[in-house]
Structure 1
Amino acid sequence: MTHLARIERDALCATFADVGPQAPTLCSPWSAADLAAHLVLRERRPDLAPGIWLPALAARTERGMREYAAKPWPELVDLVRSGPPVWSPARVPSVDDTVNFVELFVHHEDVLRGDETPGPRRELSTRETAAVWKALTRSARLMFRRSPVGVVLETPQGQRLQARATDGDAVVLRGAPAELLLAAYGRRRVAELEEVGDHAAVQALWAAPTGLG
């Protein structure tokens, strides 16, 4: 059975081929070419990748990204499609799933929803949906850690996850796992969600940053 990161990588590359290098993404001002360059650099240039997270090293990382983004579009997409290099532990499918599935999934949605219109653009398989929910169970508490109010995630199928526990008000976010994941990763503006809770609590939730940053 093809592992999930490979499925998502192939789907993302098909979208890249459809939209072209100048397509907008949710990672504005990045274009699709910039986003593809980010993914390639993250996997292939461990000497430059720390600049993704460390401001002191960001200038070198940005130069490396520009070099990749300037490559012919089919060549750059092929670099994304080929996946981790032979020396990377992520060549092992289980490691690839752990390290790359969510990264690829979220960035695929960044391209698909680059026009900033909320809501799904594709239908996920049962297996993919389960993997997204599993990823949420591992990461939701980290992603919502700065919320001043409690946060509960619910799916239409009745799955429920306490993402943030507090003594005060709580907000329930209801939606498909993919929509909840996007909200957790700071893409609430394009996520199709129902927000249940006191108006002030909902405002407080979204006034606080979500995600890893």
Structure 2
Amino acid sequence: MSTTGERPVDALEREALCDLLAEVGPDVPTLCEGWTALDLAAHLVLREHFSRWGERRMAGEKAKGLPALIERLRAGAPALPWRVPGLRTLLNGTEFLIHHEDVRRANGLAPRTGRPDLDALAWRTARLTGWQAARKIRPHGLELRVPGGPARRFGAGGAVLTGQPVELLLYLSGRRGIAQVDLAGDPGAVAALRDS
């Protein structure tokens, strides 16, 4: 689940996102409202190196420029907690996967296919975020389904969200406008999920 070849999925996604940021440049949009690629890169650096930050620190990181931020991201995260096996995959792998798609999708790039490591990570994380979403729509239930694959139910009846694991994760992490999913089921549960 965590590796392609010998490299952990979070390391692969870190590298791929850095490559994409270098390719698209600092000024392209992302799916993070109001953020450019430069904003996103600064966020990723700050997230790994500082427990708290405000606008001033964000501006300071952005002033260093995208190439410097990419270089810092490529250098890797501090040892704790970011390099602890298991945690690194779940925390950084998920973060880089979602933000990689934030840049890709905002700039017209198609969903990636043929990456079982990303699908496994996304399904693991979607099960956790699905549980959180289901709590918000109680008394309705929520079911996550992968076509021809696994399903996970939280409560009885309710909304049924169907899609590939990465698409489910994107929907559950607030990227609803671009997530390629089908939402069906009880109308009240569907409305509650859309509004949550």
TM-score by length of 2: 0.87
Match for residue 64 of structure 1 among 57, 61, 75 = 57
**Aligned equivalents of 2:50 and 2:192: distance in 1?**
39
Residues 180, 193 of structure 1: 8 Å contact kept: yes
C-alpha separation in 2, matches of 1:13 and 1:142: 30
2:119–2:166 Cα contact (<8 Å) kept: yes
Change (3 A) 1:42 1:133: same
Distance 1:150 1:94, change over 3 A: closer
> CA 1:195/1:97 → structure 2, altered by over 3 Å: closer, same or farther?
same
Give the whole-Å Cα distance in 2 for the aligned partners of 1:82 and 1:93.
18
Partner of 1:24: 29
Percent identical pairs in the alignment equals 38
Match of 1:153 among 138, 144, 151: 144
Contact 1:144–1:184 at 8 Å: present in 2 too? no
Give yes or no for contact 2:129–2:173 (8 Å, CA) kept in 1. no
Question: What does residue 16 of structure 2 align with?
Answer: 11
Post-superposition Cα deviations, 1:106-128, rounded to whole Å, max 9, x if no partner, equal: 1111111125x6x9432241122
Q: Which residue pairs with 1:191 in the alignment? A: 179
Give 1:15's aligned amino acid: L
Following TM superposition, by how much is the alpha carbon of 1:196 offset from its aligned partner in structure 2, in angstroms?
1.8
**Structure 1 residue 93: deviation in Å?**
4.4
Query: How far did residue 197 of structure 1 move?
Result: 1.7
Closer/same/farther in 2, CA of residues 171 and 125 from structure 1, 3 Å limit: same
- Deviates most, 134-143 or 103-112: 134-143
> 1:131-163 CA distances to partner (integer Å, 9 max, x unpaired)?
21122223320244212432111001231011x
May I ask how many residue pairs the two structures share in their alignment? 190
RMSD: 2.0
Whether the 8 Å CA contact 1:3–1:93 is kept in 2: the answer is no
Q: Which amino acid aligns with 2:119?
A: T
Unaligned runs of 5+ in 1: 49-59, 209-213
In 2: Cα distance, 1:15 partner to 1:143 partner? 30
CA distance in 2, matches of 1:23, 1:172: 34
